[in-house]
Amino acid sequence: MKKSEIPFLTATELSEMIQSREVSPVEVTEAYLERIEALNPTLNSYITVMADEAMEAAQAAEVAIGSGGYMGPMHGVPVAIKDQLWTKGVLTTAGSNVLRDFVPEEDAAVVWRLKEAGAVIIGKTNLTEFAITTNHYYPYGMMYNPWSMGHFAGSSSGGSASATAAFMCATSLGEDTGGSVRGPAAACGLAGFRSTYGLVSRYGLLGACWSKDVIGPISRTVADCAITLQAIAGYDPKDRYTSREPVEDFTAALEGDIRGLKVGVVVERVHTDDVMPEIREATLKGIEVLRELGAEVTEISLPLIPETAAFSLVGELVEAASIHHKWIRERLDDYQNELRLTLLMASLIPAQTYYKANQLRAYWREEMLAAFDDVDLMVYPTAPSVAPTVPPPSGLASPEDMKVNFFGRRSFTHPASLVGCPALSVNCGFTEAGLPMGMQIIGRPFEDGMVLRAGHLYEQATPWHKMSPPGFGPGEGED
């Protein structure tokens, strides 16, 4: 295999070839670094490329594997890390000038675990400032969507999605508060998985909202999500919110079938004018694929779901202002204007409003979990529209923008975040304009394997995950 062909392997394929020594971690890492050097100036997916550290890790992996010390599926596999996670000795900005000089003295738990699994950390990816807003100003530049340079890569984990879609890493980590793993995955034609709240440690995460933040994989396939998640999941005494339950084998969970599983189609998120007709049609076709695979499909109603983003954002903003209270007092001018206004506004939200939002969250949790008494999985679009054009809408520019901000795409991804459910976005096709669309599969807390299995089987029955962005695929752009 030519070195230039290596980046187009899935992480799972790459893992198998590294284990069998058909390719070496060093040549794999070199291939990705060469691709990053060629493409990152255009896509701006990375803030920091860790070339020296990556090559050192690749050399160590090569020696270990050569001496019989193979450590598992992630050994020697290059991974991109959202620049919201501490990396020991490496600049970690959270996409903000507030942290333009911050170099952590230790790794985030997930970074440490990836290193323990033998993965090669290849770089830190771009994001919206502190992963809080989709805004116009980026201290480290806008990240672009490989499927269309005129479109955004999708909310705060857009750099990880952009890098993965353009084959500049084998798999990546993002962070999902209200949808920032699933949204970018949908926008960039990828698989993005938000695991059950508490499955993955958040120690070393520069968080946006402690009660909803979840670190998760953005990958080219669901199988790649599974091996990435396997490496980072598990109890961590440094994060008291992590579960002590044994971690299931997510790769093994992909096997088998979904015959007899009950799939609930949420009518308020499918049969609504909020959803682009092309996305509705693609989702309904995706649901039919699940039916053909043996699932029992039924429609269900969740009356509160269209309103969830409104009270979800109230809680999210108050928690963000709390996290940033010291910097708001001491470093306010270092925030870009939109986030500065957002945090100041959030600081003025009355306690009774936050309390009411949490009451509504509890009510919603009861409604969603009760629905799981009748179904095993819920399915509806990941987002009601495709990736927005660059620059993305502010959310603060007008009353109409505010309405979209509080009741639009967020009411598709926030529902699972509020309850702590595992939720997967899979590519379910492309619009006539060639932009990716995402279908969301949601399960009960700690039934992550079931969600991944359904997504994997759907993916294997459809061609979408095999497609590449025009100009960025195998053989394109080469001499």
240's CB contacts (< 8 A; 6+ apart) are none
180 belongs to the catalytic site: yes
User: How many Cβ atoms sit within 10 Å of the Cβ of residue 267?
Assistant: 15
The single-letter code of the amino acid at 288 is: E
Q: What percent of the chain is helix, strand and coil (3-state, nearest 5)?
A: 45, 15, 40
Catalytic entry in 15, 24, 155, 180: 180
The bridge status of strand 423-430 relative to strand 191-194 is antiparallel
- The H or E element containing residue 8 is none
Catalytic entry in 82, 115, 124, 212: 82
82 belongs to the catalytic site: yes
In DSSP terms, 429 is beta-bridged to 437
* Sole residue written with tokens 């969603």: 368
156 belongs to the catalytic site: yes
User: Cα–Cα distance between 228 and 417 in angstroms, integer?
Assistant: 20
Cα–chain-centroid distance for residue 343? 24
Helix (H, G, I), strand (E, B) or coil at 138: coil
**Dihedral pair phi/psi, residue 360, rounded to 5°:** -65, -35
Helix (H, G, I), strand (E, B) or coil at 457: helix
**Which residues are known to be catalytic?**
82, 156, 180
